[in-house]
Amino acid sequence: MPPDPAGAFSPTAPERILRPMPAAPRVRPADLFTPEEWAPFQARSGWIGPLLVLHCWGVILLAAAAGVLWPVLIPLCVAVIGTRQLGLAILMHEAAHGGLSPNPRLNDALGHWLCAVPVGASLGLYRPYHLSHHKYAQQAEDPDLILSAPFPVSRASLRRKIVRDLTGQTFFKQRVLFLFRAFASRRDGDMAEGAVVTGRSVASFLLVNAGLLGAAVLAGAWWAFFVLWLLPMATWFPMVTRLRNIAEHACVEGSADDAFRAARTTRAAWWERAFIAPYWVNFHAEHHLFMHVPCWKLPALHRAVRARPQGGRMEVAPGYLQVLRTASGAGGDAARPYPR
């Protein structure tokens, strides 16, 4: 068909509106596994999810106690607590998929009140937003596309973003300026839809954090709430959240067309799991393939998928430093730093 400069063959505006949005490519379990092989990945646990929530809060409390008893450890404690605040957000994400408990009420109560609200989020608002991300992953309609589309950027640009995170500027932009609707008509990589959605849970966030402040006062360490809870939330938490977003979807070739390349999995050493990627969040390619598999089963799913021929198409990075090199490669060496 010849070109159509006059638009004679172009859809009218109503036709464009009624045309369904393209969903992301999908893979069925049956494409890779027999029913017997798939059965273990379908099984849900009634106790692992609550135990993970307990573990996350236990690490936070132990790190806070260490910072109070040995103030020289406060910088390390800020990093540990900030990473576990991300851990709470990750467990909220697990609850959005019904993964914290087979009991829906318990799943939602844990995910909302013990995971989402303390870090300023809302499970009820986050769930439909996040499921839309899965439905349209890396398509134009993906609400998270703004987090990955700008990459690669220059090293200077990435450095500026990390400095904004670690100096509290990102936190101020998302949590304070948002209250004044300063970004109601403008979105960017610091103020993506995810931040807007989770920013609506202000009253419950203030209530729960008032309780945390009261607990610190009763413990005789009022200052710990500000130094060992708010400071990590304002600095380390935004930074590791950014690193997580970059690692999951940025600079993955063919991510819009191939379900096996909709996201990246990043191999994480112990220190990366401790300070960047808790609770198996680094296995993101597997999560996008089969989003209802519980997070603690993702390492086994990774091995199972990679054992199939199709698994060779997955994007697997050897570590977060390599991902950052790729994401900050604009204008520099474009060679891929690791094999697919």
Q: Is the pLDDT of residue 258 over 50?
A: yes
Query: What pLDDT is recorded for position 173?
Result: 86
pLDDT at 5 over 60: no
What's the whole-number mean pLDDT along residues 257-262? 94
Distance of CA 109 to the CA centre of its chain: 20
Summarize the confidence of residues 155-170 as an average pLDDT. Answer: 96
CA distance 156 to 281: 27
For position 93, what pLDDT does the model report?
A: 96
Judged against a pLDDT cut of 90, whether residue 63 lies above it is answered with yes
Cα end-to-end span (Å), the chain? 38
Residue 174 confidence (pLDDT): 82
- pLDDT of 15 strictly over 70: no
Angle ∠(170,139,83) on CA atoms, nearest 5? 35
Interval 177-233: pLDDT, tens: 766 654 444 555 555 545 555 556 688 999 999 999 999 999 999 999 999 999 999
pTM over 0.75: yes
| Angle, vertex CA 78, rays to CA 224 and CA 231, nearest 5 | 60
Average pLDDT of the residues of the chain: 87
> H/E element holding 266?
strand 264-266
Other Cβ atoms within 10 Å of 278 Cβ, number: 27
* Mean per-residue pLDDT, 162-168: 97
286 pLDDT band, cuts 50/70/90, is: very high
CA 160 to CA 296: how far, in whole Å?
Answer: 34
**Contact of 97 with 292, CB cutoff 8 Å:** yes
Name the residue type at position 33. F
CA angle 286, 292, 293 (to 5 degrees): 55
| Residues 262-281: tens digit of each pLDDT | 999 999 999 999 999 999 99
Q: Is the pLDDT of residue 12 over 90?
A: no
Dihedral pair phi/psi, residue 259, rounded to 5°: -60, -30
- How do residues 129-147 score in pLDDT, each as one tens digit? 999 999 999 988 999 898 8
* CB 263, CB 252: distance < 8 Å: yes
One-letter identity of residue 279: Y
Report d(CA 172, CA 149) in Å as an integer: 23
pLDDT at 1: 43
Beta-bridge partners for 265: 283, 316
Find the mean pLDDT for residues 284-293. Answer: 96
